[in-house]
Structure 1
Amino acid sequence: MDSTDGLPLCFPNLNSSCRRLLRPPSEAALLYTLLAFVSLLTVILNFLVIFSISHFRQLHTPTNTLLLSLAVSDLLLGMLIMPIEGLHYIETCWMLGRLMCALSPYVLYSLISISLGDMVLISVVRYLTICDPLNYKSKITMTNVNICISLCWTSSTIYNRLILREHLENPERFNSCHGECVVVIDHIPGTVDLFVTFVGPSTVMVVLYMRVFLVAVSQARVIQSQTAAPNARVAPTAKKSQGKAARTLGILIVVFLMCFCPSYYPTLVGEVISTGLSFYSVLNWILLMNSCLNPLIYALFYPWFRKAIKLIFTFKILQSHSRDVMII
């Protein structure tokens, strides 16, 4: 059954069904191919990060534990959210029912908040590593990091439960027809969310990174002044590696800001956040692409990740004592 104006319906047996936009077969095939590629690439890259950090004992450090948490949230976004969002965009109808309409935005926002929290924690750890090295080991222990990660995951799920409370209780309240899944966050909670999940964390990360950058620059000058001293090789080498880590952190933050800023555009211009906006899908996919870009940054700027990938794909991890390989 088609609608009165000739457009097909999402659910032909329901008179209250939404209209469906039929894409040409070639366009639909291309979109599904891109969706499968991006989703699979996101899952594979983040799985490699998770496996590398989990397998090699030398990588069991506080900073890498935070990277592990970040990779887990990014992997879940690629595995659970990208296929759902892609299906919704390509088919132009919500085909997954009321329960998934309630849970999908909640899982999406929770995982995004977790990734953001991990980024903040990574910035704090890097700041203490470079700017307060004497107290680093006493403050940044595996126990403290694990506690912070647990608090990050717990607080993110609780916070987004409060933000999306009305949607979780009645996910169809803003739907105008069957085949929609519209999430609306009013201006006041949207503004609060802007400061809690973007402005505040972004400010913390940028301020900490600027401090790290200034210290790294001063250390680089020390390295240059000590290059002529034959007995001063170890310390400059350590400082040089810290400078590279600081640069990688800066790239992560810049990419994060580029991916996250567009998604807060509606709030910044005074509009309510609604998945029914015509440009929402574009903003949402820019946000989701951050989950795929993070492990690519690791591959480009972390030598240990490239070495771990080489050991994995050459099956050397199957050898005895592979967990004890010097990866750094």
Structure 2
Amino acid sequence: MEEDELCFPQLLNTSCKKPKPPHSETVFIYILLFFISVLTAALNLLVIISISHYRQLHSPTNLLLLSLAVSDFFVGFLQLPAEMLIYHGCWLLGDFACALNVALGFILNSVSVGNMVLMSVDRYVAICEPMYYPIRVTARAMRSHVAVVKLQCSVTVTSKKSELKAARNLGVLVVVFLLCFSPYYCFSVAAENSWISAFQICLLYFNSCLNPVIYAFFYPWFRKAVKHIVTLQILQPGSSEANVL
């Protein structure tokens, strides 16, 4: 009978056993995680550049989207590569790096949940109490958005439809978030099959990749901004004042 391989053979009494998943499974998971990692970092970087650069996008809701994109970017840039090491079975970067990775994962997940809550509150105030929205939702570099909100004193049909559309978009974002996070938190403790565990982890991190895709489908400004970035129009003088709405 073949003996189990240890992660650290020199520590016979304390080392954990090195898992031996099927080779085909290992290759598939590595390729999948690498693809998700690159795509997540690239797409969220586009969101970060878009909202940071164009002044028209400096609104309270978009600043929350920016915060979410930053956390999603670090998921793709740092968390997913670390997950590839963990899936291998043996953490080889030392205790400090291990603790840092765990803390980073907790912080990024907490930031994502916090952003979802704040965006929900933002949409609730904008729709249900539009007269108080400029007072209750304050941040720097939001002059253009506040000017628009002040016009809601007349409560036009157009503005109401715009707020409802924004709420619908947020609803899609929240539903996708819950679908991606729920399986991991509900079944990660009980799951024993490596395929189920790997699927839950990939789905958890794939949410960070899906958010910019949702923006591309539901936010025209994101498509326009990405077009400006890809065609290098963003490098032109005064490009931050361009009309992307």
Correspondent of 2:157 among 226, 236, 252: 236
Letter in 2 for 1:84: A
8 Å CA contact retained: 2:40, 2:208: yes
3-state SS of paired residue (2:156): helix
2:104 aligned residue: 107
Corresponding residue for residue 298 of structure 1: 215
Identical aligned pairs, as a percentage? 51
| Aligned partner (choices 111, 117, 120) of residue 120 of structure 1 | 117
Whole-angstrom CA distance in 2 between matches of 1:63 and 1:88: 35
Alignment match, 2:79: 81
1:1-328 paired onto structure 2 within 5 Å: 5-16=2-13, 17-22=15-20, 27-89=25-87, 91-142=88-139, 235-265=156-186, 280-328=197-245
TM-score, normalization: structure 2? 0.84
State the distance in 2 between where 1:299 and 1:242 align: 18
Mapped partners of 2:63, 2:104: distance in 1: 22
Flag the 1:283–1:34 CA change in 2: closer, same or farther, 3 A.
closer
- Asked whether the equivalents of residues 274 and 280 of structure 1 are also in contact (C-alpha less than 8 Å), the reply is no
Q: Distance in 1 between matches of 2:75 and 2:193?
A: 22
Q: C-alpha offsets along residues 49-98 of structure 1, whole Å, 9 cap, x if unaligned?
A: 11000000110111111111111111111111111112211x12222221
**Cα drift, residue 275 of structure 1:** 10
Q: Report the CA distance between 1:245 and its aligned residue.
A: 1.0
> 1:220 matched to which residue of 2?
none
Q: Is the 8 A contact 2:41 2:77 kept in 1?
A: yes
Q: Is the 8 A contact 2:79 2:105 kept in 1?
A: yes
Residues 12-58 of structure 1 show CA distances to partners (whole Å, capped at 9, x for unaligned) of 44424333234565554433222211001111111111100000011
Q: 2: distance between equivalents of 1:305 and 1:48?
A: 9
CA distance in 1, matches of 2:228, 2:78: 28
Distance in 1 of aligned mates of 2:225 and 2:11: 54
Q: Which residue of 1 aligns with 2:147?
A: none
SS, match of residue 289 in structure 1: helix
SS at match of 2:6: coil
Aligned letter for 1:48?
L
Deviations 1:91-145 (A, max 9, x none): 12222221122221221111101111111111111111111111111211115x9
Amino acid at match of 1:261: S
Shift of 1:280: 4.7
Tell me the CA shift for residue 235 of structure 1.
3.3
Alpha-carbon contact 2:44-2:73 (below 8 Å) kept = yes
Q: Give the stretch that moved more between structures: 134-143 or 28-37.
A: 28-37
Amino acid at match of 2:118: L
Query: Would you say the 8 A contact 1:128–1:136 is kept in 2?
Result: yes
SS of residue matched to 1:263: helix
Q: In 1, are the aligned partners of 2:33 and 2:202 still within 8 Å (CA)?
A: no
1:305 Cα deviation after fit: 0.3
How many residues are aligned here?
A: 231
Q: Which has the larger radius of gyration?
A: 1
Amino acid at match of 1:237: T
Q: Is the 8 A contact 1:260 1:287 kept in 2?
A: yes
Q: Relative contact order: is structure 1 or structure 2 higher (C-alpha 8 Å, sep ≥ 6)?
A: 2
